[in-house]
Amino acid sequence: MKVLRLFGLVLLLTICWSTGSALAGWEGEGSIDLGYTFLDQVGNRSASPETYDVYDDLGISLRGIRLRSTNGYQLNADFSNINLENRSFNARLRRPGRMNLSGFFRKTRRVYDFEGTTRTYRTRGGLDLTVMPYRTVKLSGGYSRAGLDGNILPTLGLFNGFREGVSGSPEEIQTDYSLDAYYFGAQFRLQKTVLGVRYRGTALTDNLDAKQDRSGRHLQITVFSPLPGYERLTMDGLFSTGWNRVDDRDNKRKETLFRGGGAWSLTDDWSLTSTLRFSRTDNEATGIETDNAVGNLFALRQFAHRAEAGVGYEFRSQDDLVSRTEANAFILRGMYRPLERLRLRGQVAFYNKEDNDKTTLVGDEDVIRHRFEVRYDHPDGHRLTIRYRDRRRDFEDIGAEADYQSVTSVLSIKVPRFGTGTGSYAYSKGDYRNTSSEFAFEQHVLTAQMSSVRFHHAQLSAGLTYLRSRLSSDLEKILFTVGADVVLRRGYSVGLKYQAHTYDDFVAFNRYYTANVFTVNVQKTVQF
């Protein structure tokens, strides 16, 4: 019966495709893809996110649909595994300068237990429409929905407060909710001035407990314009107002936001940018109003496109009836090209937050960040990039510290006679300490990918990812991939792909996993 249903679906798709190709005024191409995946797995199903959405089954896909009409319309679409639980699609119908209609859908799975029986399914989909009745007017609207249903394990610390025991097991939490959102707006252009208006509504529906339902409405107005008589100075502004509430208690949280900014090109080499933002949140249930204010200024100096240097400052303030915090941040940024194909970049940032009333949970906070990058582009298309990053956070009032450092190198190689290859190595370490405990890790990640040129209608590819983490955590993860694609006659092609997954956690006794995934694809290209 299962085979008959799949055969009927393939036949229906072929008939629809043939009928669509007969429509006058359209031409293009696309392909029908039939792929069977063989999955052999042993161990903890929740240990490998890469195989959450792998199904041992036949998948039907329509890929690379590209249609063009004689009156200027263009249709691009991809439908993947339309008969399986991991189905997805993206489609876009557009006429340049007049309209754009796009839609998407994706369904994914997550596994939470050893056997793979405790799982959730997440769906996301939406439609967006933009039309331009006039060159200076753009109207837009859209709708989207995100949903999650299934069972999760509370030991993961997710979704605290949801109902327990409904699924029949005291260790599981059942969840079933959807988030709907819609918007519509307009944008008007008068010479170089742009005015935008946008209204957005949201509704969270809990299908297991109506008391958890929430809704919100927001209105946003934006404006962008150069200063009349002085084109080097551009101004932008934003005003937003709205509310969110729990429907059962009908207590609203009102939100208002003002933002203004500007960019000033003093000369061809000097520029200034600044932003001021103020927001107020009014919680009707508690009667507390919270004010947030942010102001920043950044100056940039360029030196004949071979170097640049910038300095910035930001001030933050948060105030309510209980506590007040203030923060100051400084940033230094630079770029230098000693050679045409060699680029050096660096950035240093300092952040300090003071809890004036000593009423927040973490108190004062100090943060220091460094980021440096070296990139070299070879004339033959090779590229070498080396990055260094570190971050240190210090919460003196509660005796907590967090340190993180990482070094990453990426090498890309192009050899016209053979193919392309990319390899990377990343080393990172981190340490978190407080008055009662400490967690530290040291991690190595090695990746390599290669793709050959097509030789006698065949193309080969291979990839490897190796991860090793030590200290407080002790785990090893390997992913190996090899594949081949062969182009046959009359628009047919065959693809073969093999993946090997291994995961071993040497601390947790049941966190191990091994999987072999083999996929065979047969593809037929169709011309319209």
pLDDT given for residue 165 in this prediction: 38
Structural contact between residues 461 and 447, judged by C-beta atoms closer than 8 angstroms: no
Residues 6+ apart with CB under 8 A from 257: 238, 239, 240, 241, 277, 278, 279
Amino acid at 157: G
SS (H, E, C) 166-181: CCCCCCCEEEEEEEEE
Q: What ranges do the domains of the chain cover?
A: 1-35, 378-528
Structural contact between residues 173 and 163, judged by C-beta atoms closer than 8 angstroms: yes
pLDDT given for residue 416 in this prediction: 85
**Rounded Cα distance, 477 and 410, in Å:** 20
Backbone angles phi, psi at 284, to 5 degrees: -65, -30
**Rounded Cα distance, 221 and 223, in Å:** 7
**Rounded Cα distance, 178 and 250, in Å:** 20
Give the DSSP letter of residue 363. Answer: -
pLDDT given for residue 428 in this prediction: 96
Would you give per-residue pLDDT tens digits along the chain (528 residues)? 344 444 445 444 544 544 444 445 788 899 999 999 999 999 999 888 999 999 999 999 999 999 998 888 899 999 999 999 999 999 999 999 899 999 999 999 999 888 888 899 999 999 999 999 999 999 999 999 999 999 887 654 333 333 333 444 447 788 899 999 999 999 999 888 999 999 999 999 999 888 888 999 999 999 999 988 787 899 999 999 999 988 777 678 899 999 999 999 888 889 999 999 999 998 887 778 889 999 999 999 999 878 999 999 999 998 887 778 889 999 999 999 999 899 999 999 999 988 877 767 777 888 999 999 999 999 988 999 999 999 999 888 788 899 999 999 999 999 888 899 999 999 999 999 887 888 888 999 999 999 999 888 899 999 999 999 998 888 999 999 999 999 998 889 999 999 999 999 888 778 899 999 999 999 998 887
* H helix or E strand, kind and range, residue 83: none
**Rounded Cα distance, 56 and 79, in Å:** 19
pTM of the model: 0.83
Structural contact between residues 81 and 60, judged by C-beta atoms closer than 8 angstroms: yes
SS (H, E, C) 97-117: CCEEEEEEEEEEEEECCCCCC
Q: Which residues pair with 252 in a beta bridge?
A: 245
Structural contact between residues 328 and 341, judged by C-beta atoms closer than 8 angstroms: no
pLDDT given for residue 266 in this prediction: 84
**Rounded Cα distance, 223 and 136, in Å:** 14
pLDDT given for residue 497 in this prediction: 96
pLDDT given for residue 22 in this prediction: 43
* Two tokens, residue 146: 């995100």
Q: Hey, is 235 helix, strand or coil?
A: strand
Give the number of other Cβ atoms within 10 Å of residue 85's Cβ.
12
